[in-house]
Structure 1
Amino acid sequence: MAEGHLQHIFFHERPVSYPYRNRQSPRKQNYPPRDRVSHGNWLMHQFQKVWTDAKNINEAREAVALPVNHGVYLEFVSTPEYELAIRSLENIQLGIRLMNVRMMENANGKTERVATVYIPHGKEGFFLKKLRQYLEENTEKGKPRHEAFAACIDDIRLAVVESFWPYHEITSIPGEEPKWCEIWLNTDQDEDEAKFRLLASERLGIEIRNETLRFPERRVILAKVNRKQLEELIQSSDNIAEIRRADEVTSFFVELDNTTQSEWAEELSKRITVRVDSRVSVCILDTGVNNGHILIAPILKDEDCYTYHPGWGTHDHDGHGTKMSGVVGYGDLQTLLENSEPVELNHVLESVKILPPTGKNDPQLYGAITSQSISRVMIEKPQRKRIICMAVTSPEHTTGDGRPSSWSAALDELASGYLDEQQKLIIVSAGNVHGWDNYPDTNIVSSVENPAQSWNALTVGAYTEKTLKDLRKYNNGSTVAPKGGLSPYSTTSVIWDDKKWPVKPDIVLEGGNVLKDSLGCVQCEELSILTTYYKPFERQFDTIWATSAATAKAAWMAVQIQAEYPDAWPETIRGLMIHSADWTDTMKRQFLRGKKKGDLKVLLRTCGYGVPSLEKALWSMQNRVNLVVQAELQPFDRDKNGRYVMNEMHLYELPWPKDVLLSLGETEVFLRVTLSYFIEPSPGEIGWKDRYRYASCGLRFDVNGSDTKEGFLSRINAAMESDEDEPGATSVKWLLGPHNRNVGSIHSDVWRGTAAELAVSNLIAVYPVIGWWRERPWLNRWHKKIRYSLIVTLQTPEQSVDLYTPIMTEIRSKVPIAQQL
């Protein structure tokens, strides 16, 4: 530990839990004006017509011995610009299920909501009864019964292939030629999956993969189908919820002769000491790693090399995996080669080959491949604290707008520990931009690639400090990106809905620059990162660039933190990395459009929270103190009337040294808060709201500011009431503010104020907001707890001020068991 470095304070005081008090008033409904009689009669006629049409289709199929299902898929179409009453379209007890909800533009450019619903034969009376009651009966207030259900419906029609396909991907529906597609089944039962597999493969002759992805009320299976076969599946199966296209996946030392390179590598290897009892590892999912390299062999044993498919082998057939391992293992390899200091490595590597060695990749159910690969490694070495690193993306089938895919949802499920009760830190690359002439405009409109939209994964983009040292060598060329700016390679989430989807990338790290001259833009070794080469008999070193290089560096940083704090949770490691990040001045000049909070959007969704600092992530200082809380909270409960309600919030009294702060008076101090947790995903495309929200629940934080304790608790209680996740008014002048930060599963913000202001602002609350755990109680997860890591930093620019000692004294006086890890 360097002089001045102090370990973070892990705050073990139990939070005070306050129960939620329901004060919610009924919400106003918004319906289009309707002539009740004519509208009700038309809906009744239309429903009966499509039901008769469906019955005739089934009878015709049975007459020629074709398989049939036991119900009907219908579409309910909303009035343009109005919401459907989604809950009224489902009755689980009767087997009536909402399969998906899509937003579409009609011919006039207006937005329609379209819900696809499965209705078993004999249960159509559920809707006919509602329509009759809408026509004939009133509520106690004199309104038509079921007005919310009927008034917003503009059309009812039979479902077709497009009914199950994401609206923005309609053009990728297969034609006559079969294509690999994801079939999303509306079930989590093995029996239903087995029936579907038998139907598809035996009765319909469809090629199906063995892998299955499992989510709440969803199974995802890969099938090679054309449009006709998709139509057959819809007519034959009772469990089709969605269909999607499957993913397809992407100077000095280098210029030396191999003899000289080997001498450099051997000299470094002699200075390396690997901790023999290390229980900290990074698992690289890639093209395999060739561990015969003199610098890789000490940290990657043969027994730690795995492959998804036995026929692929564990070797690196491409070079990418070995490039990743050089950075994951050593961080800045060039600096280590250039000095003569001893190198102590506190971690080891693991490799899982998830890409085949020959030919073009067939589309795969990569979520299942990723899940099975990680599970195998964890079973083999369960004692290890493991960081998972993956720089493999699917640019061809990226959703482009932040919506989850089966692959990104699988990463969320893996990280959450839903399958094995083991939370995991998964670090993924954001994906790359391949045309640099219009930098940075191209980056702004280039979406983060699948599966990096994952909420729980730490998504890494790229920035660069790389510049050309000798312009004459490159005919007076120049770099595309300025020093300290966004790397030309890095994708962004600027074009996503910023009220719905996470900030991505989360952080940026060195990914290299691009050379620009009169002929265009090209990659350049001098502007890339030095690493290891996969064919050491040819040469020892190579270069790596783009978000792969940045992701490898992020994994190296994460494992340094894990080694220093072995009891830190994955949520905490992710939190510390984001908590330590900041934007460079160049990034601010590039992307900060003004001084309002809304002007931060482009900067935040281009560069994430900025460049993480390993020093800040690892250490506190006398004038910069990091408090870390690792706790769990039960967000929901069932009340005495059987309703599922919000349960509790956590309140912490921060151990601020009030006397020290008051003595500093108007001196500016810095408060940063980061809240990190993992959601359990529900990826079915059913509107992403109400009971079908993607997240199991959300968590939020707030600080009291100038509020009294009673006023603060009242404000938090009101925030918990809001189904729309609307924060209350606060005196705290956050840099980002709730509307920028309250998306995804990690939230970080900064408050700069006077020391006197902060002296009285010592209460921080962690509280839940609504999620599907509460809204879908039949899944029996409403009583589950969610873990979280809360990181709070208090800092003053006055380096002579000692905040650390009085904070430790305050903690020990209240909580004798509080200690540092």
Structure 2
Amino acid sequence: MASRFTLPHIDITRFRSSGEYTGQGSGGSSAVRIREEHGAKLLHELDAAFAAADASRQTDPRLPDPTGSYIEVELRRGADPYQLERKTEGISPRAVKEHAGGRSVALFVPDHARIALQQILEDYRAGPLTAAGKPRRETMVGPIEAFRRARLEVLWTDDLAALPTDPQHQMWWSIWTFRETEAELEARCQSLGLRTAGADRRLYFPEAAVVPVLATRAAIELLMFATGVIVELRRASDNPVFFIEDERDTQHAWSDDLAERIEWPGADVPVVCLLDTGVNRAHALLEPAVAPADMHSYEPDWGTDDHAGHGTSMAGIALHGDLVAPLADTEPRRLAHRLESVKILPPKLNDPNSPSAYGAITQAAVALPAIEQSERQRIFCMAVTNGDVPGARPTTWSAAIDQIAAGTMPGDEEGAPRRLFVISTGNSDPVMRLAEWPGPDAYPVEDPAQAWNALTIGGYTDAIHVSDPGYEDWTPLSGAGELSPHSRTSTGWGAGRSPFKPELVMEAGNRAVCPARRDLLTLDSLRLLSTGHEVDRVPLVAFDGTSAAAAQAARMAARISAEHPDYWPELIRALMVHSAEYTEPMQAAFAAHPQLRDRYGLARQFGYGVPDHDRAAASARDQLALIAQSEIQPFRLKGSRQFNECHYYQLPMPNAVLESLGNEFVDLKVTLSYFVDPSPGVSANVDPQRYQSFGLRFDLRRKGEGVGAFRQRVNPSEREDPRKGPPAHPDDNRWLLGPDSMSAGSLHCDSWSGPAVDLLGRDMLCIRPVVGWWRERSSPTIVNRQSRYALVVTLKARRTDIDLYTPISTLVTPSVETPIDPFAGL
């Protein structure tokens, strides 16, 4: 996929200073033309078509001025539409449709090429004959029957009955574009606020890219009449049904074809380690990426093969993502990560593993792969939850996962690696009657997904096209971009005592409602496609729920790790959150709740939004990430147990660009990620500071606040009398969640949106510690411990033509590599 996110993130670690602290066809008709008559007719129709195009041309301040028009060309039956192409002038045929009388072609004509096209027709009509006695330009003009004004229908190549007539009807459109214009299409969609699907849902052919776009008909018409990026339009209806129903007998052929197109990874790459029901590695789409030595089981007599199917379906998503697009296109694909499997669920129907034992079981399972490959970078992924225990408070299982992530579980030595652990929220109950559906807020996130250090994944959905045979008149329960009906939320958890869960939402599928609005069903067309464990019989199966969402998140994390092997797990987690954006329905929900505390419940439904691999892995000129990986010593034992240090970051801000943008809005996002060492005592259920080993918070310099005043406000050590409160300086109300939202958890994220000029002078950020159980210990080796954190600060323009990256990178690139003192000269 052509992405504008191709620039390296900007490392600002060296912009940190420490201070003491206290306190995202062929054939045709043989009818003889009378060239003068035919040419004159075509010239008249062409002029009329251009006049109609000009009259219907739409302009929009969010888009560049139009530079061309579509017209419809009627050709003789079997005529070659590419005879119309004139590459030098930029005249190109687009969508081609057959009908009983011939062919119609959508022809894009740049404004500057109108004269050239008119001259071609004039040469045909009145120019001298060729040596063979033929009219000039006959091969191009002869097959043309007529020119007409172009409507949206001329680009629509799907069933005409499926084309919505209501201008405000919203759906997923498959926009076909040339590969070289994919980035332009994406930029235009972003300018209009339209959501484009990620790389995993796009198809690629030798000359075309197929991009699903969520939009109304009116927005697509605006794209058509104001830009020239559309080649053709269809419904974005690819889903598992084609492979599960229509192609059931040829599933093996589809799987084998994809397997042959994959460049499989070597041994020395990151892995997604699945803790589940095992994996059937005999599958053609799994076997090259799952070595026998990488198959483990908590109990050896359970075996390592998949007895239930869930683990194999998790494996397919964790390795490939949703298989619908990879199976349907013809592109070679490259994998940069592998899989490991640890079977933690027994093959018997009655589970002998007591839920209370799953903390130890999970830790033992995590240790098994390291025996074989101790140096591997691993992303652990688990979609096993305790359905009887909501996760509002820490449990032994969730604390065990926090220990796994922090590298402090039993058996871990000093300096043990941190681990990124991805876990699902658990799924809602699959009720069969709409009247019985209480909504996702009735289903709290299940234990152990409340683990502070885990990246907890819920579900949203873009699956809104029902195409299962016999169910075409059923409708989706959730709209595009809304929370998946399979997901769970933490809206009922105590404010301030529990972290926001989930942190991210990914595609989890949808459910369907019957026309009578009575029955609810889970249909295959509203699910993802993955690998099945019954390889000989059904190698491709539908898969959904937060299990599928968690597997997608683990895959994203492994891909980032493969691309950036120097990134800590804390930074990968932060970058995935930094990359997340809210869908339009989610944004509307936030906009309807201007009070910060009212928004906390929304964050407990949607997390921080839907992540995007491209944004997480790289920056763009209009949207860049400043990153830092640092160590901090929160406390010290110096006569008494006390705070030790805070960190200040001098942020390189593009002040000239911000000034030039004036009151144009920009967005700034801050994500802080670290892993706590848990202490799940009784008091930890009511006091987060008793659970965490330490905590961190961030604070940004406020508008009009001097550096000295900022330091005094955030750090009592900077005040003449540390016992006095901080100097007053009002903050604006442009934060999405506000500082009070950072009360629990080991990941904190907030977004500021406002006029660009209001960011001038807001170029300093403080990372400061808060109380944790390390501070209460008497042992100096505990009180004086250091820990790590990752910081991501994202600056984003609202227009893709704004270059924020260049001026910032210029500020960051030093002539001599020396540490930066942000307070020099103050």
Scaled by the length of structure 1, the TM-score of the pair is 0.68
Mapped contact 1:11–1:818 kept (Cα < 8 A): no
In structure 2, what is the equivalent of residue 627 of structure 1? 626
In the alignment, structure 1 segments of 5+ residues that lack a partner are: 23-250
Report SS of the residue matched to 1:298.
Answer: helix
In structure 2, what is the equivalent of residue 711 of structure 1? 709
1:456 and 2:453 matched: yes
Q: Which amino acid aligns with 1:629?
A: A
In structure 2, what is the equivalent of residue 360 of structure 1? 350
**Could you tell me how far apart the structure 2 residues matched to 1:285 and 1:530 are?**
20
Match of 1:371 among 353, 363, 370: 363
Show the 5 A alignment for 1:320-331. 320-331=310-321
Mapped contact 2:22–2:717 kept (Cα < 8 A): no
**CA positional deviation for 1:590:** 5.5
**Any idea what the Cα deviations from partners look like across 1:355-385, whole Å, max 9, x if unmatched?**
1011311215111111011112123212211
Match of 1:480 among 477, 494, 512: 477
**Could you tell me how far apart the structure 2 residues matched to 1:264 and 1:689 are?**
53
Match of 2:666 among 665, 669, 672: 669
**Could you tell me how far apart the structure 1 residues matched to 2:655 and 2:393 are?**
46
**Could you tell me how far apart the structure 1 residues matched to 2:451 and 2:640 are?**
31
In structure 2, what is the equivalent of residue 805 of structure 1? 806
In structure 1, what is the equivalent of residue 512 of structure 2? 515
Mapped contact 1:274–1:298 kept (Cα < 8 A): yes
Q: Which amino acid aligns with 1:303?
A: A
**Could you tell me how far apart the structure 2 residues matched to 1:414 and 1:351 are?**
17
Report SS of the residue matched to 1:352.
Answer: strand
**Any idea what the Cα deviations from partners look like across 1:753-784, whole Å, max 9, x if unmatched?**
22222131100110100111002334841111
State the number of aligned residues: 586
**CA positional deviation for 1:583:** 1.7
Note closer, same or farther for the CA distance 1:634–1:440 as it changes in structure 2 (3 Å cut).
Answer: farther
Q: Which amino acid aligns with 1:507?
A: L
Note closer, same or farther for the CA distance 1:769–1:720 as it changes in structure 2 (3 Å cut).
Answer: farther
**CA positional deviation for 1:740:** 2.0
**Could you tell me how far apart the structure 2 residues matched to 1:754 and 1:692 are?**
36
Note closer, same or farther for the CA distance 1:692–1:740 as it changes in structure 2 (3 Å cut).
Answer: closer
**CA positional deviation for 1:287:** 0.2
Q: Which amino acid aligns with 2:449?
A: A
Match of 1:426 among 421, 424, 429: 421
Show the 5 A alignment for 1:620-659. 620-639=619-638, 642-659=639-656
Report SS of the residue matched to 1:802.
Answer: coil
In structure 1, what is the equivalent of residue 30 of structure 2? none
CA RMSD of aligned residues (A): 2.6
**Could you tell me how far apart the structure 2 residues matched to 1:728 and 1:291 are?**
62
Note closer, same or farther for the CA distance 1:690–1:796 as it changes in structure 2 (3 Å cut).
Answer: closer
Mapped contact 1:511–1:550 kept (Cα < 8 A): yes
In structure 2, what is the equivalent of residue 731 of structure 1? 731
In structure 2, what is the equivalent of residue 11 of structure 1? 12
Structure number, greater radius of gyration: 2
**Any idea what the Cα deviations from partners look like across 1:694-749, whole Å, max 9, x if unmatched?**
001110001112321111111112499999x9998642431110112442110111
**CA positional deviation for 1:656:** 1.4
In the alignment, structure 2 segments of 5+ residues that lack a partner are: 24-240, 821-826
In structure 2, what is the equivalent of residue 291 of structure 1? 281
Report SS of the residue matched to 1:686.
Answer: helix
**CA positional deviation for 1:663:** 2.8
In structure 2, what is the equivalent of residue 746 of structure 1? 747
Q: Which amino acid aligns with 2:614?
A: E
**CA positional deviation for 1:687:** 5.3
**CA positional deviation for 1:331:** 1.1
**CA positional deviation for 1:277:** 4.7
**Could you tell me how far apart the structure 2 residues matched to 1:298 and 1:702 are?**
47
**Could you tell me how far apart the structure 1 residues matched to 2:561 and 2:341 are?**
19
**CA positional deviation for 1:409:** 0.3
Show the 5 A alignment for 1:245-264. 251-256=241-246, 259-264=249-254
**Could you tell me how far apart the structure 1 residues matched to 2:422 and 2:730 are?**
34
Mapped contact 1:257–1:539 kept (Cα < 8 A): no
Mapped contact 1:649–1:766 kept (Cα < 8 A): yes
Mapped contact 1:505–1:606 kept (Cα < 8 A): yes
Mapped contact 1:718–1:728 kept (Cα < 8 A): no
Match of 1:347 among 325, 337, 353: 337
Q: Which amino acid aligns with 1:427?
A: V
Note closer, same or farther for the CA distance 1:636–1:811 as it changes in structure 2 (3 Å cut).
Answer: same
Match of 2:675 among 655, 678, 681: 678
Note closer, same or farther for the CA distance 1:355–1:7 as it changes in structure 2 (3 Å cut).
Answer: same
Mapped contact 1:399–1:405 kept (Cα < 8 A): no
In structure 2, what is the equivalent of residue 792 of structure 1? 793
In structure 2, what is the equivalent of residue 194 of structure 1? none
Show the 5 A alignment for 1:435-450. 435-436=430-431, 437=434, 441-450=438-447
Show the 5 A alignment for 1:309-320. 309-320=299-310
1:597 and 2:596 matched: yes
**Any idea what the Cα deviations from partners look like across 1:614-633, whole Å, max 9, x if unmatched?**
22112211111111100010
Mapped contact 2:468–2:523 kept (Cα < 8 A): no
Show the 5 A alignment for 1:168-567. 251-256=241-246, 259-362=249-352, 363-364=354-355, 365-396=357-388, 398-400=389-391, 402-419=392-409, 420=412, 421-436=416-431, 437=434, 441-470=438-467, 473-474=470-471, 476-517=473-514, 518=516, 520-567=519-566
Mapped contact 1:264–1:337 kept (Cα < 8 A): yes
**Any idea what the Cα deviations from partners look like across 1:187-226, whole Å, max 9, x if unmatched?**
xxxxxxxxxxxxxxxxxxxxxxxxxxxxxxxxxxxxxxxx
1:587 and 2:589 matched: no
